[in-house]
């Protein structure tokens, strides 16, 4: 029998952040595709759209009017997923939908409070992150810092999620480039898994400052010196952009701080600019991969708030989850086995990183030749 090959043979990879596994089946990338084909995201948009609810000076669906903003713009989400005040979910209230059997064991619910905000990245209706300058993306990062710091001071807020859904394929309801902020009274399930793993890693090592992601990014930077183990797409002084060893989505990436930074509010001026440069460089490569406006969901994972008791073990990183697989029109679906058993991917992390590294660092729309 031939020697095992990670680029040819099926295998499982472990995600130490979430304590989960992913099945890799690289040989399946050769199968023909006769399934769903999406419309390529390449529509031309004007710099200003008088019908857009997010453009400067326009009225939103609720009648509220946007400011004539010239940089980033933040406002409360008119259709927030959570609210700052509402009644508590008492045992009697739960019994209305759960009955009286096994309440507290099989039937649990709790009231969730919070705030939701919208962050417009720029006044331009037609420019996504890869088309903004590093200075303009730096303004987005500074807005994140201000929002995160302010919400961390609210005693009712115990978690702040900063994120962006880019593209209709990812459920974005308005094409004007923007992100969202959901701040909650409890830490949600996904970041809670990561914090549990980060705490366990620190407790399992003798060093009081041991950090899973510090160790991981150092190992990946060392691995980058040999092509078979290189999953680093790009890096600068403060951040590494890499395809994680355990990636689920075809071109999934992480932007990881090279030094131990608990949250975005701790970034200094140069680190803010380095994060903006890393975001621009990565998203340009995404767009160049299939010559389209590359859809993704992106979010920051960091300490739940600046004052959270476990903040010291948290390590700032950004997750990018793009769905495209083979082209601008063929996407990855998490269905069947992935829903019933565990995630599965065809392209290996090493292959995905190599393809992203090979992309031109200049956006395809601005090339002169």
Containing H/E element for 71? none
CA distances 166 to 38, 50, 66, 118, 186, Å, are 15, 21, 21, 14, 26
Are 291 and 363 spatial neighbours (Cβ–Cβ below 8 Å)? Answer: no
User: CA neighbours within 13 Å on the CB side: how many for 149?
Assistant: 10
Residues whose CB falls within 8 Å of the CB of residue 47, separated by 6 or more in sequence, listed in order: 124, 125, 126, 127
Q: Which of 125, 176, 178, 308 is catalytic?
A: 178
Strand spans (E) along the chain: 11-15, 20-24, 73-76, 114-120, 159-166, 178-184, 232-235, 239-242, 253-257, 296-301, 317-321, 324-327, 330-331, 344-345
Active site residue 9: no
Active site (catalytic) residues: 178
């Amino acid at each position: 029998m031939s020697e095992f090959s990670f680029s040819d043979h099926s295998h499982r990879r472990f995600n130490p952040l979430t304590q989960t596994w992913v099945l890799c089946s690289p040989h399946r990338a050769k199968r023909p595709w006769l399934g769903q084909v999406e419309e390529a995201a390449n529509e031309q948009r004007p710099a200003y759209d008088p019908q857009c609810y997010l453009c400067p000076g326009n009225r939103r669906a609720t009648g509220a009017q946007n400011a004539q903003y010239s940089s980033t713009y933040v406002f409360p989400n008119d259709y927030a997923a959570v609210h700052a005040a509402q009644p508590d979910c008492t045992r009697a209230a739960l019994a209305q939908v759960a009955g009286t059997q096994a309440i507290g064991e099989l039937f649990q619910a709790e009231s969730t409070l919070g705030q939701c905000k919208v962050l417009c990245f720029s006044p331009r209706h037609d420019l996504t992150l890869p088309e903004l300058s590093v200075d303009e993306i730096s303004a987005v990062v500074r807005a994140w810092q201000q929002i995160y710091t302010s919400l961390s001071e609210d005693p009712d807020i115990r978690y702040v999620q900063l994120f962006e859904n880019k593209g209709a394929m990812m459920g974005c309801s308005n094409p004007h480039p923007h992100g969202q902020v959901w701040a909650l009274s409890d830490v949600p399930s996904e970041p809670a898994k990561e914090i549990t793993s980060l705490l366990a890693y620190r407790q399992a090592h003798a060093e009081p400052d041991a950090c899973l992601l510090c160790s991981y990014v150092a190992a990946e930077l060392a691995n980058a010196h040999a092509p078979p183990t290189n999953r680093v797409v790009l890096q600068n002084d403060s951040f590494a952009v890499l395809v994680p060893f355990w990636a689920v989505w075809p071109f999934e990436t992480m932007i990881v701080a090279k030094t131990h930074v608990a949250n975005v509010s701790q970034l200094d001026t140069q680190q803010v600019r380095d994060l903006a440069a890393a975001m621009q460089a990565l998203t340009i490569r995404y767009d160049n991969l299939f010559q389209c406006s590359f859809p993704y969901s992106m979010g920051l994972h960091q300490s739940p708030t600046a004052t959270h008791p476990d903040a010291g073990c948290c390590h700032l990183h950004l997750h990018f989850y793009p769905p495209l697989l083979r082209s601008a029109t063929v996407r990855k679906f998490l269905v069947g086995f992935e829903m019933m058993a565990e995630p599965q991917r065809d392209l290996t992390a090493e292959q995905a990183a190599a393809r992203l590294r090979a992309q031109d660092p200049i956006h395809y729309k601005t090339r002169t030749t």
